[in-house]
Structure 1
Amino acid sequence: MDSLTQIAINARKASIELQNLTAENRSFALNKIKTVLENKKRNIFKANEQDKQNADQLVKDGTLSASLFKRLDLESGDKFATMLQGISDIDRLPDPIEQITYSSKLDEGLELYRVTCPVGVLLVIFEARPEVVVNITALAIKSGNAVILKGGKESILTLTALSSAIQSALSYTAIPPNAIQLVETRGEIDALLDMDKYIDLVIPRGSNSLVKYIQGRTRIPVLGHADGLCTVYVDEDSDLNKAIRVVIDSKVNYPAACNAAETLLIHRSILSSHLLPLVTALQSNNVLLHLDKESMSQLRSPYDTSRIQLCVPENFDTEFLDLEMAVKVVNDVEEAIQHINSHGSKHTDAIVTENEHTAERFMRCVDAAGVYWNASTRFADGFRYGFGAEVGVSTNKTHARGPVGLEGLLIYKYKLCGNGHVVNEFGEGKKKYLHEKINVFRDNLIYKY
């Protein structure tokens, strides 16, 4: 048996062992991981510094994008502290396993319950961001899933340091060590994508090309998004100050993120009052603008002509992941909705308006995982939603959509508790099913298995 098959088998066995662990077991493991990561912070930063030095050369050589390089850094600001806080936030969430979501009495002594349970074995593939290892580990342990992790080669030293710390922490807990495994090469991923016998769900986090490659390469269900083509529509009834705040934050706060806005739509009737202030605010933040002909013709000085280009059709299908934005004039909210549904990626789109009816129309009709009213698209994040962290963002229309936290790593099973019941006793001229709702409290499970 080859080593990769053994990794997958080990993950499957670990996922079964996890089913028997208590919420207390899992909580203890999360706190231990946080402690060990904090203790090994210096070694982790040393590895991250080396990765950044190596990646800087890759950027200079043109083999690594600047946006991926930005995501590699684990040392700047409060990124490491936020990562550790995410573990605590996940730990504090209610235990998601064995929660009853449906109950019915079929007959006296025959009771049916639908209860939440882990998906099983996850394969998570991501680029650059080394903190993903910790985020996914915490979510997997809390939700009772085993996970196989594959990060980008540009962050391999940091990933190894983080994985080593996690394995060290797990050795003090009831969590089987094979519940969290790290693989290193792309060739290993190709082989694992064929192992639908052992792996239940693939979650890719990375570039459009990575996600599309994985989606076309495996029979295993894939949860993820290929693009982050987010749009802000500034309506005729918008407040200018709110519009500027929302547009600037959506584009500038972190332009390399998948929830950064790439397109600005503006209602034709407010070009004279809103367009120049919006353009000026964006240009003051060094945003290169791709304007359509109408918005270009409406501009009057002062503005920086070096940061403005006439747009081409492809601009509205481009995820810039940088300080660039496409701008288009629309007639009304209906045209804005049509444009977003035609060019967007079903990730997150926002409307700025004081008209509640228009906002409701937009949020009902835009086909996206997140639809916002007078709020930045950058709020599309599991941590900001209160999920503790996220395993990724899904634009699928399956069991999970948008930022995926614990609930997205759960499925359910039906448990039927009887007393020698058989189907043959029911039917025409025999017993009839009662189908009566059973009152059940989440923290007081009363079913008898």
Structure 2
Amino acid sequence: MDAIRAAAEKARKSSYSLSSIPLDVRNAALESIALALESNSEKITEANAKDMKAAEEMKLPQALIKRLKYSQDKISESVTSIRSIMQQEDVIGKVLSKTELDEGLILDKVSCPIGVIGVVFESRPDALVQISCLCLKSGNAVLLKGGSEAKNTNLILAELIQKAIISVDERFDGTVQLLSTREEFQSLLKHDDLIDLIIPRGSNQLVRSIMESTRIPVMGHAAGICHTYVDKDADLKMAAKVCFDAKVQYPAVCNATETLLIHSDIAEKFLPVIAEEYGKAGVEMRGDERVRKIVEMSAASENDWSEEYNDLVISIKIVDSLREAIDHINRYSSHHTDAIITSSEAAAEEFMDDVDSSSTMWNTSTRFADGYRYGLGAEVGISTNKTHARGPVGLEGLTIYKYKLRGKGQTVAEYSGKDGRKYTHRKLL
């Protein structure tokens, strides 16, 4: 048996016991992880410094290097996130519906863990912590593969997490495992009899390659091409504030705005204002022909409308109507997150209904599309799928359901024929 098959089988064995481990034990394991991060923060930052130095020497993109950094502040954020997850209600064993099929024959639909999850992610070491903790809380075993650029940080984090949870309960052995190479993860994709779900977090190319090379269901998003549309009825002061945050606050992430759409009625007033703000922040602006007649900037090409920059770059286009903005977004968006700035409730509702994205927003920044900010505790990623889970995927997105039928000796034969017993199908919950 190869090592990857053995790791997958170990994860599968662990998953069978996880759903029956009480909530207080799972929360104790999470607290053990939080304490391990706090007490080993210097070791973690030392390992991260090695990765940062190597990344700089390799001249990796600055956006990637920024995501790679795992400072004391980031560790503190991870600890806060873990304790937030601990406060979330249990998602295992919730009775979603209860139906009386007949007297004494009761059917429950009950939430349960998905099972074994494979996750591949790039750059961000904090993702390893988030994903491990979410999987543990929701009763799933996880096999993780981080980017080689974060190998030292990921290794120490995985070791700390494994030691921390096993010290609480030996049944957690195998719950969190780290794969070393991309070849190992590619091998994992072959074991569809042991792995229930793959979650990729990374580039469009990475996600596409995984989708094309496995029979295991894949949940995630291929790109984060987010839009903010400034409507003709927008409060322009609010619009400038929100558009600045959506691009500049943290441009290297998937929920940052990449394209700004502006209604032609307010373009001459708004464009110079937002262009000045972007200019101060060092944002490279690329505009269509109408935009460049108002403010000087680089020309936007057709490719810019479907580009995820993950950097201080934004494409800008003038549109003549709400419908044109919606049509543009539905054509070029990655169906991640899109926002409208307007004082018109009717326009906002039409936008949020008709834009086909996992999150639509009114008068606020696309940067809010995040599991922690949505009150999910944290997230394993953003899903643009239309099956099972969509948007920021937290604890509930890591569960599925099973049916539990309780009877008193009934048989199907008793319900056959004209004179057989009749089903009541009475909803109890």
TM category (shorter chain) comes to over 0.9
Quote the offset at 1:14 in angstroms.
0.4
Quote the offset at 1:273 in angstroms.
1.7
**Corresponding residue for residue 123 of structure 1:** 118
Are 1:185 and 2:181 an aligned pair?
Answer: yes
**Corresponding residue for residue 311 of structure 1:** 300
**Corresponding residue for residue 435 of structure 1:** 425
**Corresponding residue for residue 360 of structure 1:** 349
Are 1:172 and 2:161 an aligned pair?
Answer: no
User: Distance in 2 between the 1:201 and 1:186 partners?
Assistant: 17
Quote the offset at 1:65 in angstroms.
2.2
**Corresponding residue for residue 324 of structure 2:** 335
Quote the offset at 1:66 in angstroms.
1.9
Are 1:264 and 2:254 an aligned pair?
Answer: no
Residues 296-342 of structure 1, C-alpha deviation per residue, up to 9 Å, x if partnerless?
Answer: 1133xxxxx5xx20111111011111111111111111000000000
Please show how residues 97-108 of structure 1 align to structure 2 within 5 Å. Answer: 97-108=92-103
Identity %: 45
**Corresponding residue for residue 54 of structure 1:** 54
Letter in 1 for 2:403: Y
Quote the offset at 1:115 in angstroms.
0.5
Please show how residues 205-224 of structure 1 align to structure 2 within 5 Å. Answer: 205-224=201-220
User: Distance in 2 between the 1:333 and 1:398 partners?
Assistant: 29
Moved more, 203-212 or 170-179: 170-179
TM-score by length of 2: 0.98
User: Distance in 2 between the 1:298 and 1:28 partners?
Assistant: 59
User: Distance in 2 between the 1:151 and 1:73 partners?
Assistant: 14
Letter in 2 for 1:396: N
User: Distance in 1 between the 2:273 and 2:46 partners?
Assistant: 45
SS in structure 1 of the partner of residue 99 of structure 2 = strand
**Corresponding residue for residue 446 of structure 1:** none
Alignment length, in residue pairs? 427
SS in structure 2 of the partner of residue 217 of structure 1 = coil
Please show how residues 11-50 of structure 1 align to structure 2 within 5 Å. Answer: 11-50=11-50
User: Distance in 2 between the 1:9 and 1:359 partners?
Assistant: 49
Quote the offset at 1:178 in angstroms.
0.5
Letter in 1 for 2:427: K
**Corresponding residue for residue 377 of structure 1:** 366
User: Distance in 1 between the 2:94 and 2:316 partners?
Assistant: 47
Please show how residues 69-218 of structure 1 align to structure 2 within 5 Å. Answer: 69-75=65-71, 78-174=73-169, 175-218=171-214
- Residue 61 of structure 2, aligned match among 40, 45, 65: 65
Residues 381-435 of structure 1, C-alpha deviation per residue, up to 9 Å, x if partnerless?
Answer: 1111111111000001011111100011000001111111111111433211111
TM-score by length of 1: 0.94
Quote the offset at 1:81 in angstroms.
0.5
Letter in 2 for 1:215: M
User: Distance in 1 between the 2:19 and 2:361 partners?
Assistant: 38
Residues 263-321 of structure 1, C-alpha deviation per residue, up to 9 Å, x if partnerless?
Answer: 0001011122212112111112111111100111133xxxxx5xx20111111011111
Are 1:404 and 2:393 an aligned pair?
Answer: yes
Unaligned runs of 5+ in 2: none
Contact 2:37–2:75, Cα closer than 8 Å, also in 1: no
User: Distance in 2 between the 1:281 and 1:172 partners?
Assistant: 52
Quote the offset at 1:377 in angstroms.
0.3
Quote the offset at 1:19 in angstroms.
2.2
**Corresponding residue for residue 409 of structure 2:** 420
Runs (4+) of structure 1 exceeding 4 A deviation are none
Letter in 2 for 1:268: S
Letter in 2 for 1:222: V
Letter in 1 for 2:260: L
SS in structure 2 of the partner of residue 102 of structure 1 = strand
User: Distance in 2 between the 1:325 and 1:363 partners?
Assistant: 22
User: Distance in 2 between the 1:287 and 1:37 partners?
Assistant: 35
Residues 150-169 of structure 1, C-alpha deviation per residue, up to 9 Å, x if partnerless?
Answer: 00111010111111111221
User: Distance in 1 between the 2:268 and 2:139 partners?
Assistant: 56
Quote the offset at 1:138 in angstroms.
0.8
User: Distance in 2 between the 1:182 and 1:238 partners?
Assistant: 48
User: Distance in 1 between the 2:52 and 2:74 partners?
Assistant: 15
Please show how residues 278-317 of structure 1 align to structure 2 within 5 Å. Answer: 278-299=274-295, 305=296, 308-317=297-306
Q: CA RMSD in A?
A: 1.0
- Residue 233 of structure 1, aligned match among 217, 229, 233: 229
Letter in 1 for 2:323: E
Moved more, 39-48 or 362-371: 39-48
- Residue 376 of structure 2, aligned match among 381, 387, 400: 387
SS in structure 1 of the partner of residue 385 of structure 2 = coil
Letter in 2 for 1:125: V
Moved more, 273-282 or 232-241: 273-282
Quote the offset at 1:172 in angstroms.
1.3
Contact 2:253–2:310, Cα closer than 8 Å, also in 1: yes
User: Distance in 2 between the 1:420 and 1:40 partners?
Assistant: 57
Letter in 2 for 1:270: I
Quote the offset at 1:88 in angstroms.
0.4
SS in structure 1 of the partner of residue 265 of structure 2 = helix
User: Distance in 2 between the 1:17 and 1:182 partners?
Assistant: 20
Please show how residues 244-259 of structure 1 align to structure 2 within 5 Å. Answer: 244-259=240-255
